[in-house]
Structure 1
Amino acid sequence: MSTKRSLIRRATAVAAAATAALALAACGGNGDDSGSAHNGHNAASPAASTPAQQGDHNAADTAFAQGMIPHHRQAIEMADLAATRAESAEVKKLAAEIKKAQDPEIKTLTGWLTSWGEQIPAEGAGHEGHDMAGMMAAQEMNQLEPASGKAFDTAFLTMMVKHHEGAVAMAKTEQADGTYQPAKDMAQAIITSQSAEIARMNTLLGKS
């Protein structure tokens, strides 16, 4: 009787050891061949998954965000002028739409730079960057500010077409060279929306 019990205990122990070994092998296999952090060790999962979700960016993504913030700020500055200086209802409507679209994008771009530990362009750091694609120089902004009526409408539309063309070029560079998917998605949205606005503005200018 005692011999039979001893054999049963031994068989149970062997089965338990085999089960444990299989469990360890399975755990190790998932971590190695899938490359997925979530099947590996729990302690490593957050650290392994966070860069892929939030920090997977490169220099092109940083340049896109740092360039587009002052670019958008200047567009909003121009749009604010249109609210009181423009004569055309269409120009005023377009300016309001530009501000509504670009204000949230500035907040998103700023959030990305903060999460990446990158520098955020200072407020007012726009005009000195006029060599950036489509940016207006301080002199051009000084010419726009005192204008009103039809003269403002023409100047605003002409400058904003150039401004939008610069943004589209920057967005295309991001799509080609960036790695951060949300930034590439924003770049595509900018290309689509601002290309449509360029066509609209050229129509208002009588160019198409």
Structure 2
Amino acid sequence: MRFQLVLVAALLLAGCAAAPAQPVPAPAATGKLYNDTDVMFAQMMVAHHAQALEMVRLAATKSVREDVRTLAAAIDVTEADETKTMQVWLQTWGQPPTAAADAHTGHGGAHGTNADDIAALATYDGPQFEQRFLNMLVAHQHNAVEIARLETSSGVNPGALDLAKRITDSRTAEIQQMLRYLETP
């Protein structure tokens, strides 16, 4: 019994040591449980996801390899669901669904994929499409990880922090998977 109490105490202390540097404000103290970083994260990520969805939906008809189509379909489902969640947050927080075009320049801009590049991607088929798609999506998902890390560095909303961690983990795994696909055509 004493060993279990010591173990629980050690786990609790370990959790406290890993806590964010900025405390999460209580809703009663601030009237809200989000900050500007949470809003920025959701606004940037909604726009970012829209671009990813545009790219992965091309793979359904333009890709030859089943594994590439399967990955694209999984990304489609995941990012469409995440987008809905973030749109609800923004609405609940009374924030616009998107920010002004220059609102995020102070921290590196929108971290998106060039619309012309996405349009050019749509002109390819088969192996040429797959190579360009995988390379573009690797870079795109890397940008998603960067946006998520901005959130985990100074966001306060528990849901947004959780989503940012999941995005970091899942997109990093997707990048590794796509790099393997690029090695074995």
Superposition TM-score, scaled by structure 2 size = 0.77
- Work out whether 1:159 is the aligned partner of 2:140: no
Q: What's the RMSD between the two structures over aligned residues?
A: 2.2
- Counterpart pick for 1:132 among 92, 110, 123: 110
Deviation of the 1:121 alpha carbon: 2.5
Look up the SS of the partner of 1:205 in the other structure. Answer: helix
Deviation per residue, 1:128-147 (Å, 9 max, x gap):
x9x522x2212201210111
In structure 1, stretches of 5+ residues that fail to align are 1-48
- Work out whether 1:102 is the aligned partner of 2:73: no
- Work out whether 1:72 is the aligned partner of 2:59: no
Higher helix fraction (1 or 2): 1
**CA pair 51-68 structure 1, distance change in 2 beyond 3 A:** farther
Alignment partners' CA distance in 1, 2:115 and 2:160: 29
Matched residue, 2:157 = 180
Identity of aligned residues (%): 36
Runs of 4+ in 1 over 3 A off after TM superposition: 49-52
Look up the SS of the partner of 1:56 in the other structure. Answer: coil
Whether the 8 Å CA contact 1:61–1:179 is kept in 2: the answer is yes
Output aligned runs, 1:3-18, within 5 Å: none
Larger radius of gyration: 1
Alignment partners' CA distance in 1, 2:138 and 2:148: 15
- Work out whether 1:169 is the aligned partner of 2:146: yes
Alignment partners' CA distance in 1, 2:180 and 2:28: 45
**CA pair 85-51 structure 1, distance change in 2 beyond 3 A:** farther
In structure 2, stretches of 5+ residues that fail to align are 1-25
Look up the SS of the partner of 2:40 in the other structure. Answer: helix
Residue correspondences, number: 152
Superposition TM-score, scaled by structure 1 size = 0.68
Whether the 8 Å CA contact 1:76–1:99 is kept in 2: the answer is yes
Matched residue, 1:197 = 174
Whether the 8 Å CA contact 1:55–1:115 is kept in 2: the answer is no
Deviation per residue, 1:86-115 (Å, 9 max, x gap):
111111001001011111110110011011
Which residue type is aligned with residue 91 of structure 1?
A: V
